[in-house]
Amino acid sequence: MTIAIGQTAPDFEADTTQGRIRFHEWIGNGWAILFSHPKDFTPVCTTELGTMAGLKPEFDKRNTKIIGLSVDPVDSHKRWEGDIAEVTGHAVTYPMIGDPTLEVSKLYGMLPADAGTTSEGRTAATNQTVRVVVFIGPDKQVKAYLAYPMTAGRNFDEVLRLLDSLQLTAKHKVATPANWKHGQDVIIAGSVNNEDAKKLFPAGWKEPKPYIRIVPQPQG
């Protein structure tokens, strides 16, 4: 299967470095980010997991849980955590899912159904598609889905920026323009007509074109 924005994130049970979880239950009533990796003890992924660990307080501020995934078993993840802390200076304090049967990777469309049922003998190259970031809202729906090649380390500042946009636009009837950052002006959503916009934004807006209505970022 493929994962699409707006669909319910597939639920599953799995072992993690912090115990067994039922995914939807683990998410609870907040946001969640699932980010996957082709294989343990790989260079780019080591830097990514450490970077994510260093940013965990930022995700906590946003009521967002983070969870890693690799097709290797949990005991391998736990050994890898030592390297991650040594190399990046950040201890991994979030859970990492073990997926030695490839069940979760297939469920999220990262591996084909005929990929087999074991991670044994598989390499980073054969798992190269297990390299995504999935943003999941409190309603358990997929809000965004990013995929990366093995050779390009993910930009987690962008992950935070996108999360800020998703959370803002879920709460207010606005959209964020190109390269937007938290605190900058936003655009009134196209689904809002001018009559309703006057009620929502009584201070008015800048309108360089009739279809572009710019307002300060709503607060709260």
Token pair, residue 162, equals: 């996108």
User: How far is the C-alpha of 76 from the C-alpha of 56, rounded, in Å?
Assistant: 22
Distance CA 77, CA 100 (A): 11
> Given the structure tokens 């991994």, which residue do they identify?
92
Which are the contacts of 23, defined by CB distance < 8 A and separation ≥ 6? 9, 10, 11, 12, 13, 14
Which of the residues are catalytic? 45
Rounded CA-CA distance 75/81 in Å is: 10
